[in-house]
Amino acid sequence: MLNHLFIAGLFTLSTVLIAPAQALEACDASTQAYETIDDLIDIPTNSAWTYDVIPTQCIETSMDLMDALVSSSSKFKPYAYCQEGSDKPVRSKIPLCRSEKLVQKIQMQFQLVMDCLDIPAKAIFPLINVESGFYPNAAAPGGEDTGIGQVTPIAALDVDMRWSWLEDHIQASPKASCKSLQPLLPTLKLQEMESAFICKMIDPAVNPLRNSLYTGYIFLLNSKYYSDYFLENDVPNRLSALMGRQIESHEVDEIIHLLNILTYNMGFEWMRSKFAKYLETQEANGASLDMETFDYKNFHKDSFIGFLKKEDSSRYIKLVIDRNNAVEQKLGQGTCSEFKNIRPSSALEHMIWHPPVIE
């Protein structure tokens, strides 16, 4: 992931600064590579998506936020470029040349993957908004977190070890989005991951499609891990006892979704341990909870987010919420993101309520 502690500091100074991108240098072959290279896949603009499409202005606004942060520091270089024939990325603060074609390419390839995996694109928007600002060549300074989802080598290896489930789902799906991806799976799967990871995960020939696929599957895997944890620790019934009523399945989905968004950076074990600590504390205190307790905008000291805020030294959680709020302030609530009423279907529902056995 990008340097979130540094970005959080900048963001507190520029929450309302959403300015159109300015050309820091003349556009050249590197900064226009995603536009000029032949697309790996032709996606009709009238595809029948399962979920609402993220409007292009959401991606543009997310990019504007990133541009404003980068321009606030002369040393911050969150982008990477790889010269043809070279495995070594060049770090830069120069963003990609913004064009309608670039934004549409990012929008459609990201939407295609999320639709195939049955992840509402609006549900994962807050994550991408803070991880990369939807720049497909975003790269963590000094690290290997790369691309639109800031995928790490360890996370990518986790996906590759479980590639067969991903492949089986895509090959078996009747959805048009999955049919478009089916012949590309051998190309999209990473090979020899230990070499040139960054360049492979930002390669304009296969990205942001490849990076979106790995990002989406990581999101599904974390949902599976939380599903196992909730079932093994009787979490739904414990929440029901604290709420004084039977918790509904879609409410469990909402809580898992919130945990999943925050887990992407903090790590499953860290977030699981904090959730367990919070639940145990509320039970010991005989607290009375409701779904507002798990509202991502609820920073009351007794809420889950209020509790996490005290535990999170990196300030990542506040950063996710602040940056999502900044987008909503400009474009309207619900235009780009959904934190509530997430109703997973098909693949995601399968992962949550009937998790596959992963060796």
13-68 per-position pLDDT tens digit: 333 333 344 444 558 888 888 888 777 776 655 567 777 789 999 999 999 999 99
Residues 159-170: pLDDT tens digits?
998 898 899 989
292 C-beta neighbours (distance < 10 Å), count: 10
Per cent of the chain over pLDDT 90 is: 47
Contacts of 276 (CB under 8 A, 6+ apart): 233
Range(s) of the domain holding residue 357: 1-359
213 C-beta neighbours (distance < 10 Å), count: 29
Amino acid in the structure at residue 126: P
Mean pLDDT of 143-166: 91
Mean pLDDT of 179-195: 86
Query: Residue 330 pLDDT more than 90?
Result: yes
For 287, phi then psi, to 5°, come to -70, 160
Residue with tokens 């509402």: 120
* Helix, coil or strand: residue 81: strand
pLDDT score, position 152: 92
> Which carries the bigger pLDDT value, residue 191 or residue 160?
160
Q: Residue 120 — pLDDT band, cuts 50, 70, 90?
A: confident
Domains identified in the chain, total number:
1
pTM, 2 dp: 0.85
**Which letter, b or e, does each residue of 127-160 get, where b requires 16 or more Cβ atoms within 10 Å of its Cβ?**
bbbbbbbbbbbbbbbeebbbbbbbbbbebbebbe
